[in-house]
Amino acid sequence: MRRVALIRFVLLVAAIVVLPFCVRPVVASEICIFAIAAMALNLIFGYTGMLSFGQATFFGLAAYTAGLMMIHWHAPLLAVLAAGTLVGGVAAALIGYVCIQRVGTYFIMLTFGFNQMLYFIAYKWTAVTGGDDGLPGIPRPPFAVGPLSISLDSSLRYYGFVAVSFLLAFYAMKRIVDSPLGVIFRAIRENPGRAAAVGYDVKRYKWLAFTIAGAFTGGAGVLYSMMFGIVPLESISWIISGDIVFMVLIGGIGNLYGPLLGAAAFKWLSEAISVVWERWPLILGVALVLVVLFLRGGLVEAFTRVRDIVAGGGPRPEPDEPVSVPDAAESQARP
């Protein structure tokens, strides 16, 4: 089991290394940034069972925070990254506390409502955010630790920084879902009533999941703010929230690798196809319908199905999933 995990991680690193040579480095960076945000949503949606339609709230808040800190204070890179992550987490703690009081559709609408509220604040408060025009003139500080200072001016170098951030975020997320929290979150997703009956304060754990996700999303927002030297108003809009939901669904919910696949598919499609066919979102719509109807596990499930067909023999269980023991064991439990 441990070896399988290691092989997977090596493959992941390999994929991240070759990515900027398969697509433009700028697109590669976007893929990694949105993969972090999608990973965060996956924690609350795929693992804990709460669909948030307002993740742009934390993405955008952190992006504006980072942009303002860099424009006005010339704040260094790592300080900005830490601040944005903190802002994402604190905002998610405040907003999440209200949202988790409700479940299902009402939860979704609350996350959406807060997103809209903050969008309009960003839209109207032009003195600070630039409103519709976005917040321009954001520098990209060098990566500096002690005497070491690496310029991130080229898009490939910036990708390097984003890629390392992604891998660190991935590892942190893996440790979270491998920890007791992972079991607790999934137990709450499966049956919140029983999770309470065995002794878990369900609201508190939902709140925790939401807050952790907000922090990750905030980190992604900071990385995004330095991409194009501008924080567009769109970064806090429901469109980004929707894109993130989309990536998680396409990639495969409840699986650690799904969000990366989803983000890659989404950004690659929008990059490769939008130049030849401007109605490319139509393809995304079709893909979403197909996934929901036929392939609930998204690209991850498609991948395992193809692998099983290529490898021959019947479908094999996912290594992550509990393996079903054949029913021979049943007779043992009986007299």
Partner 1 sequence: MSADTILRTDGLTCDFGALRAVNHVSLDVKGGTLHSVIGPNGSGKTTLFNLICGEVRPSAGRVYFEGREVTGRAPHDLPHLGLARCFQRTNVFPKLSVYENVWAAVFARRTPGVLGCVRRAGEFSDVDADARRVLADVGLAARSEARAETLSHGQQRALEVAVALASSPRLLLLDEPTQGLAPEATVQMTKLVQSLVGRYTILLIEHKMRIVMSISDRISVMAFGEVIAEGTPDEVRDNRDVQRAYLGARR
Give the binding site for partner 1 (CB under 8 A). Answer: 175-176, 178-184, 186-187, 190-191, 193-202, 321-325, 329-330, 332-335
In this complex, which beta carbon is closest to partner 1, that of residue 199 or of residue 313? 199
Least distance CB 74 / partner 1 (angstroms): 35
Nearer to partner 1, 278 or 327 (CB): 327
Q: How many CA atoms does the CB half-sphere of 244 hold within 13 Å?
A: 38
The residue assigned the tokens 């925070």 is: 65
Q: What is the three-class DSSP state of 231?
A: strand
Strand positions, DSSP E, 102-209: 135-136, 143-145, 148-150
**CA-to-CA distance for 139 and 57, rounded, in angstroms?**
23
- Residue closer to partner 1 (CB basis): 37 or 181: 181
Residue 92 beta carbon to partner 1: minimum distance, rounded to whole angstroms? 16
- Please state, in angstroms and rounded to a whole number, the distance separating the CA atoms of residues 61 and 53: 15
CB of 124 to partner 1, least distance (A): 38
Backbone angles phi, psi at 230, to 5 degrees: -150, 145
The number of residues in the chain equals 335
Nearer Cβ to partner 1 (124/296): 296
Give the DSSP letter of residue 43: I
- Tell the smallest beta-carbon distance from residue 152 to partner 1 (Å): 31
d(Cα 70, Cα 226) in Å, to the nearest integer?
Answer: 10
Cβ-based neighbours of 160, under 8 Å, separated by 6 or more: 152
For partner 1, which is the closer residue by CB, 293 or 329?
A: 329
CB of 324 to partner 1, least distance (A): 5
For the bound state, the minimum distance from the C-beta of residue 189 to partner 1, rounded and expressed in Å, comes to: 8
Considering beta carbons, is residue 139 or 315 the nearer one to partner 1? 315
